[in-house]
Structure 1
Amino acid sequence: MMLAGAQIEESVSYTPEKASVSIAAKEPQKHVVAQGLTRVPSTDPVDIQFTNITCTVRLGFNKGSKQILHGVNGRLRPKQLVAIMGPSGAGKSTLLDVLSGYRVTGVGGAVFINGRGRIMKRFKKMSCYIQQDDRLQGLLTVSENMALAAQLKLSTKLDKYEKGEVIEDILTNLGLYEHMNTRAGQLSGGQRKRLSIALELINNPLIMFLDEPTTGLDSSSCSQVVQLCQSLAHQGRTIVCTVHQPSASLFALFDHVYILAAGQCLYQGTTKNLVPYLDQAGVPCPMYHNPADYIIELACGEYGEDKIKLLTTKAENGRVLDYFDETDIPSMEALRKQNPLSVLREQDTGSGTEETPQSNQLSVLMKRGFLKAKRDATMTHLRLIVNVVVGIMLGSLFINAGNDSSRVLENYNLLFAILMHHMMSPMMLTILTFPAEMSILSKEHFNRWYSLGSYYISITVVDLPISIVSCAIFSVIVYTMSSQPLEVARFSMFFAISLYTVLVAQSFGLMIGAAFNVVNGTFLGPTLSVPMMMFAGFGVTLRDLPSYLYWGSYVSYLRYGLEGFIGAIYGLNRPKLDCEEVYCHYRYVCVCVCCIVYSVTSLAIVMLIFKRMKDSSN
């Protein structure tokens, strides 16, 4: 397995020597600016217009709902870096989610792309969404993350050298070339944010949405990230960011700003026109005061709620476009003429929007999974140790129980205990580990890296070898120590049933881990396992179940596992077991003899008692 891991690592790692274009190593930069991505060309401009956007979220069961956005309007022009600003709870991230298509439930209004109504399938091909937390594979290096992303996002028609040139170009311009052999988990906050942007630049998106890219960064890193976004926008992209409260120098780097307060638009236009706008509205910005701080103070209601209403009315909730630099903003009809349907056809068939086949997705995702398993082998070692220890413990408790007819019930208990181990261990492991992968999965799937089917198959295949090895070790230990019949057919059935139970339990854990967080999943996992045990036929036999509960036996996969174990151990025309005890359960002759002896003895005692009672009465 170690050799296979080494081969996988070699196939996904990228080194500059393999590329056909050599770039000299550069000194660390204080300011990172993408001065021109030669291998990622400038894009066709994309104009975004949204009208009467509303968003309502449910607060919980029987708690009603709350409207976050109240009919906001706006225009996002190409080649501009746009900042959506506002206080906490103003609806910045919600508006970004709606515009990116990340949120679709409870949303009203319309979004237009170059004058035409947005078609979500086409829109996702030309856009990407980089969320606030940097969702990266921390065990992989920068070059490995980029190489895997290139294999998933770029056309399979490009060879590894062409993909390598794209990677090298992006890393050089984003100031990450010197860190290409550093693991993503060891990067600084600003470097992680730049890597998140670099991963999405591989397929050259026309539109980029970034949720609070400066959160958690120092002032220098904030400036680097915003300068990078500004440079990328000026190359032809439409880039939209949410920002909480930038400094004056950071605020000046944005071309346009969109201010929200309580789900309504207070202002949209260029940053330099904000101060004149406030003067015209009768709420002038004080001298030597940061306009970004002042507008946030207004949006928070520090100067009265009437000021918010005044600015919302003046901006007409985002309909006013008088504070743009452009004197003649093209209408929707003009945009449709500038971007005929033939252009859309070319965009749909471009290499950057082409989905890679599922076979390629499976191959790349399995490479990534095996590489991660190799670098973080702690969980693999723990799984092996747990299976060995539990196997020895169960084997010691039920030693020689499988070949002794007087201990049939004990062996039955052993088989159920084995099922419990195969159910709980993989299920709880998956519940505890999968939620950590959910954030990465949601980001990569939303940005069209791969399909959910490819991801599920890949994680199942990656986990299969260790599941087989640990299950085989456990089965050999328990089977031999408990003296089960040493026949190939019986052991094969025993092992197969054990492995199938493990796989079903893992799927059950994935379902819970995908639906709930770690805390709720840890509670619900064992709780939902109780009905599986109740309807497995252990304790209460299936024939004793009430008719209205019998359906539960068909749902419980432990029932099928227990019946399979019984068939593997005692079926297949197994000869009758010898019994050296006076009483052996399920041995018909002994049972009959015992019944006769007990019946005769009981009858004699009853007759004796009645005789004495009769004599005493006389």
Structure 2
Amino acid sequence: MAPSEQTSNETDGVCHVADGGGDPLRRLTQSGASSPLGLALCPVTLKFEDVGYKVKLAQGECLPTRKLIVEKTILTGLTGIVSPGEILAMLGPSGSGKTTLLTALGGRLPGKHSGFVTYNNHPFSSSMKRRIGFVTQDDVLYAHLTVSETLTFAALLRLPDSITRAKKLEQAEHVLNQLGLSKCKNTIIGGPLLRGVSGGERKRVSIGQEMLVNPSLLLLDEPTSGLDSTTAMKILTMVKGLAKGGRTVVTTIHQPSSRLYHMFDKVVVLSEGAPIYHGQASVAMGYFAAVGFSTPVAMNPADFLLDLANGIPPSKIDSEDQGEGNSLEEQDPKLVHQLLISAYNENISPRLKAELRSTPSTPNQYSVACRSRVEEEWGTSWWEQVRVLLKRGLKERKHEAFSGLRIFQVTTVSILSGLLWWHSTISHIQDQIGLLFFYSIFWGFFPLFHAVFAFPQERAILMKEQRTSSYYRLSSYFTARTLGDLPTELALPTLFVLLSYFTGGLKPTFTNFTLTLLVILLNVLVSQGLGLALGAVLMDVKKGTTLASVITLVFLLAGGYYVQRVPSFIAWLKYVSFSYYCYKLLLGVQYGEGDVYGCGTGLCRVVDLPAVANVGVGNKGRDVGALVVMMVGYRLIAYAALRRLKVR
């Protein structure tokens, strides 16, 4: 081959391959890898040898304060090889280790595994991570975004800054057309309670998100789960076409039909975490017949393999139907399992390891070209990530933040408040103070309980996009989330104050109204920050709402309205209560040293009223500072908790 035909270069972490001439691998790569970006695939040969994985589990009570830790083997002795253009399917019953092995091959397995996994004879690295497309079994997508918006935002986040925005949008459109999603491009994704695209279309969108970066290695976990046979066939036909474009494809699948089975190039059959077969899908039946497990009737090869993986040979099923006795080997699944493992170790394992060592990887120029620059850990800049995430977040959350139910709830409460405190005057000082305290508790606890749900509901999205696929930095996500919450969280309290302030008889001046609104908005941000912190630390809605209820009750009692003579040993609680500071600031905004009200002896100063004097109306700057510290501090706690969040 001429030197000019062997050259390859890399721009922005994507390899550009020169004309392949007579190289069949290059022709395969270029035939199905074209895109509007003009980028070709970097083929990857995946090899894994003696992969094993164990986890430690707590089991039973050993001592009153300690549990017995046992080690459970999930995978053992897995070896295999997959070349560009091939589909390797992992078959096995539930719990056999298929997803664990797939996760290990994608470099996403928590902890360490034994054995070796290489990509073009190189270990897993951050540059290789950007060339792996991983499609999980559950489609983790935003329900209110359309198909087109989902792929567009993913393209803007994942493709490098050196590619223009127009080209990124063109790439998203190209993938959308390639996966046959044009007809539903403007349909929302939908969810359990929201009608959207079909299950097959949702799965194609998940695959499309990975196809945007033109991955060299595509890993799919149960891509046909929950789909009818026709839709499953369409999905796998599409995957077959992607493999023919030069990609290396590995998929787990539970119980494929015979039509699906014959589309696989290679098959790995797992039984209790151990391999019982690895080889061409078309010769699997012949291999098992050769080792003494044959079926006298025609049947789906996948069903046959799954029966064996469960320790149930076809001869046992036939004899049971005929009422005949069985040998011990046929009756005991453990003995069947041992026989299959022994046959694998004797007939397949030596040949497979020899093939692993003798089969060359893709040519060296590919492996060199496929190494992205180390500094390109993220697809785009921090500011661009914030901008895209902010726009996406506003599109998704506006349906919930400004839902008719929430607007009705806030509007109803504000109108009712205005009617209950209709034109109250300073002569009804106790009523006015009650209205101000109601402001502090309602707009302290309403946003808190709403914010507790934020991160637990987005955990799956965050794990997929930020931790496993590196769409964006965590700081970008958190900043965009914080900024995106401002218009959605501050609009409703503004509406509330507008509807209830003047009808409630509070001081009708622009200054007093503005200061009251600003205090309530600051209180909302503090309360929301506490809710975000609780949600991020606990990552459990039930636990979060329970703890939030306890905290709100404590803050309510320590707020200075219900209990005015608090014992000294517990008086410190008011200094950690944002309700206390908000209530104190609202009193300071409404009442000054010269304000008086009618009392039994004539006129009394408002600041001398026990309910006001106990809280005080001075030191407003200190109170604002305390709320600002809480607002920032709670969000820092939430961010730190998200950084420690583990993939599960």
Structure 2 match to 1:21: none
Conservation of the 8 A alpha-carbon contact between 1:256 and 1:268:
yes
Structure 2 match to 1:320: 349
Which of 395, 416, 419 is the aligned partner of 1:396?
419
Conservation of the 8 A alpha-carbon contact between 2:79 and 2:352:
no
Structure 2 match to 1:361: 385
Structure 2 match to 1:439: 460
What are the superposed Cα offsets for residues 566-613 of structure 1, whole Å, 9 maximum, x if unpaired? 33333xx4313132435989879999xxxxxxxxxxxxxxxxxxxxxx
Aligned-residue offset at 1:260: 1.8
Structure 2 match to 1:248: 258
Structure 2 match to 1:95: 101
Q: What is the rounded CA distance, in whole Å, between the counterparts of 2:226 and 2:505 in structure 1? A: 60
Conservation of the 8 A alpha-carbon contact between 1:361 and 1:454:
yes
What are the superposed Cα offsets for residues 380-434 of structure 1, whole Å, 9 maximum, x if unpaired? 4433332222123233334455623x634x4444333222211332233344566
Which of 155, 159, 167 is the aligned partner of 2:160?
155
Q: Structure 2 unaligned segments of length 5 or more: list them.
A: 1-29, 60-65, 191-195, 313-329, 611-648
Matched, 1:454 2:449: no
Q: Secondary structure at the match of 2:351?
A: coil
Matched, 1:557 2:578: yes
In the TM superposition, what are the counterparts of 1:164-179 in structure 2 within 5 Å? Answer: 164-179=169-184
Structure 2 match to 1:104: 110
Q: Structure 1 unaligned segments of length 5 or more: list them.
A: 1-33, 592-618
- C-alpha distance 349-509 of structure 1, shift in aligned 2 (>3 A): closer
Q: Which amino acid aligns with 2:520?
A: S
Matched, 1:114 2:110: no
Aligned-residue offset at 1:250: 0.8
- C-alpha distance 363-283 of structure 1, shift in aligned 2 (>3 A): same
Structure 2 match to 1:181: 186
Conservation of the 8 A alpha-carbon contact between 1:78 and 1:233:
no
Which of 72, 82, 86 is the aligned partner of 2:88?
82
Matched, 1:329 2:356: yes
Q: What is the rounded CA distance, in whole Å, between the counterparts of 2:529 and 2:609 in structure 1? A: 45
Aligned-residue offset at 1:306: 1.1
Structure 2 match to 1:501: 523
Conservation of the 8 A alpha-carbon contact between 2:596 and 2:604:
no
| Bigger CA radius of gyration | 1
Q: Which amino acid aligns with 2:465?
A: E
Q: Secondary structure at the match of 1:75?
A: strand
Structure 2 match to 1:207: 217
Q: Which amino acid aligns with 1:225?
A: I
Percentage of matched positions with identical amino acids: 28
Structure 1 match to 2:437: 416
Aligned-residue offset at 1:212: 0.6
Aligned-residue offset at 1:203: 1.0
- C-alpha distance 335-139 of structure 1, shift in aligned 2 (>3 A): same
Matched, 1:129 2:134: yes
Which of 163, 180, 203 is the aligned partner of 1:193?
203
- C-alpha distance 310-425 of structure 1, shift in aligned 2 (>3 A): same
Q: What is the rounded CA distance, in whole Å, between the counterparts of 1:531 and 1:76 in structure 2? A: 61
Matched, 1:479 2:479: no
Q: What is the rounded CA distance, in whole Å, between the counterparts of 2:595 and 2:429 in structure 1? A: 14
Aligned length: 545
Structure 1 match to 2:42: 43
Q: Which amino acid aligns with 2:380?
A: T
- C-alpha distance 585-211 of structure 1, shift in aligned 2 (>3 A): farther
Q: What is the rounded CA distance, in whole Å, between the counterparts of 1:342 and 1:390 in structure 2? A: 65
What are the superposed Cα offsets for residues 198-256 of structure 1, whole Å, 9 maximum, x if unpaired? 12111112222211100111111111211222222232222221111111221111112
Conservation of the 8 A alpha-carbon contact between 1:265 and 1:318:
no
Q: What is the rounded CA distance, in whole Å, between the counterparts of 1:100 and 1:190 in structure 2? A: 24
Aligned-residue offset at 1:530: 2.9
Aligned-residue offset at 1:436: 4.2
Which of 364, 367, 370 is the aligned partner of 1:338?
364
Structure 2 match to 1:598: none
What are the superposed Cα offsets for residues 40-87 of structure 1, whole Å, 9 maximum, x if unpaired? 533322424254421426469958566251434223423221212211
Root-mean-square deviation (Å): 3.6
Structure 2 match to 1:299: 309
- C-alpha distance 369-391 of structure 1, shift in aligned 2 (>3 A): same
Aligned-residue offset at 1:98: 3.3
Structure 2 match to 1:576: 595
Q: Which amino acid aligns with 1:440?
A: I
Matched, 1:71 2:76: yes
Q: Which amino acid aligns with 2:411?
A: V
- Report the more deviating stretch, 490-499 or 54-63: 54-63
Q: Which amino acid aligns with 1:484?
A: L
Which of 142, 146, 157 is the aligned partner of 2:147?
142
Q: Which amino acid aligns with 1:299?
A: A
- C-alpha distance 262-525 of structure 1, shift in aligned 2 (>3 A): farther
Conservation of the 8 A alpha-carbon contact between 1:190 and 1:222:
yes
- C-alpha distance 588-284 of structure 1, shift in aligned 2 (>3 A): closer
What are the superposed Cα offsets for residues 324-364 of structure 1, whole Å, 9 maximum, x if unpaired? 9xx843469x65993798445446578xx752112112222
Structure 1 match to 2:622: none
- C-alpha distance 237-393 of structure 1, shift in aligned 2 (>3 A): same
Conservation of the 8 A alpha-carbon contact between 1:116 and 1:336:
no
